[in-house]
Amino acid sequence: MRQLLKIALATLTLGLFATSAQGMEIRDWHKGMDMNCASCHEGAPKGYPEDDACQVCHDVDDLAEQTARPEEDKWQNPHNNLHYGKDIPCVECHSEHGTKEPMCAQCHTFKYPAHKQ
């Protein structure tokens, strides 16, 4: 009886995890791109994806060019900034399954109106 209870509990736990992982929503800008969990997460869809996963589609140099600011504010570029250059991990500011404020907002007051949380 005890063994049966353990098996039932394990099955329920795995079922809940699978349901929650399948229930994760893909953001609007990635819908229709034939993406699934494995597109970003290697192995189990748990934890943050590596930057390499983002950079399969997103080139950091292109992003830095697209988000460049005027000369006097050039180091406020989120993809090429004074503190980290182009080396900040994508997940510090972006999340596929929820919203996130830019990491810079923890200390600075400048805004990123086009930021996709």
Strands (E), 61-102: none
* pLDDT for the residue numbered 29: 73
Query: Has residue 31 been placed in a domain?
Result: yes
State whether the Cα torsion 53-58-61-64 is positive or negative.
Answer: negative
* pLDDT for the residue numbered 7: 55
Q: Where are the alpha helices (DSSP H) in 1-117?
A: 2-22, 37-40, 51-55, 60-66
85 - beta bridge partners?
81
Query: Has residue 46 been placed in a domain?
Result: yes
Query: Has residue 117 been placed in a domain?
Result: no
The total number of structural domains that make up the chain: 1
Per-residue pLDDT of the chain (117 residues; tens, 9 = 90+): 666 555 545 544 444 444 445 567 777 777 778 777 878 887 655 677 888 888 888 999 999 999 998 988 889 888 999 899 999 888 888 888 878 888 888 888 877 777 766
* pLDDT for the residue numbered 15: 45
> Which pair of structure tokens corresponds to residue 96?
């596929």
Query: Has residue 111 been placed in a domain?
Result: no
